[in-house]
Amino acid sequence: MTNGQVSVWVPIVVGLIGVAGVIAGQLVNTWREHRNERIRWTREQQRDARQDRLAWRDKRLAVALDLLITMNTWRELAVESWPDQVSDELRDTVARMSDRLAEMKLVGTERMRTAATEAVDEYLERLVGRPLLGRGVLEQVAHPFGPVPD
């Protein structure tokens, strides 16, 4: 070998080191992308779960509020007209209350369903004048003001 010449194996080793560096860089970049994508996906899942919880909370609140308003209307109408006369407005209100209770049973939590059913049973028991034997009003009363079966 003369002065100023480089041995053949030096460029080959430098080329291999360069290729290994590029491959290592690509592997590190891919690993970081996958990690960032997992983090992004996890955050999206958490955000979606939170939005679902908020949507259900809003739905439960709307149903509970509507049920309470309907029960209040029912109570006011019942106080005015029961037992002398049963107005169509009172029948309609009881039907609406029954629908709201069914909706509450569909979307409410177990605690909400129990409280709503007990409240409606209490209202009806006061109107009918005798206990409903611990059964739900919807399961027991065929007509809002019909006879209560034993």
pLDDT tens by residue, 23-78: 999 999 999 999 999 999 999 999 999 999 999 888 888 888 887 777 777 766 66
| pLDDT in the model for residue 138 | 42
Burial annotation 99-118 (CB, 10 A radius, 16+ → b, else e) = ebbebbbeebeeebbeebbe
Whether residue 142 is predicted with pLDDT greater than 50 in this model: the reply is no
Give the domain ranges of the chain: 55-140
Neighbours of 74 (CB within 10 A): 24
Q: Which residue has the higher pLDDT, 142 or 97?
A: 97
One-letter amino acid of 53 = R
Whether the predicted pLDDT of 118 surpasses 60 = yes
pLDDT of residue 69: 79
CA-to-CA dists, residue 115 to 36, 99, 112, 125, 137, angstroms: 46, 16, 5, 15, 13
Identify the pLDDT of residue 131. Answer: 45
Helices (H), the chain: 9-81, 88-107, 110-128, 137-140
Query: Whole-angstrom Cα distance, residue 20 to residue 120?
Result: 76
What tokens does 130 get?
């005798």
Q: Which pLDDT belongs to residue 87?
A: 66
pLDDT in tens, 66-90: 877 777 777 666 656 555 566 677 6
> Which are the contacts of 56, defined by CB distance < 8 A and separation ≥ 6?
107
* Residue 1's pLDDT band (cuts 50, 70, 90): low
Tokens 């209560």 belong to 148
Q: What is the pLDDT, as a whole number, of residue 139?
A: 43
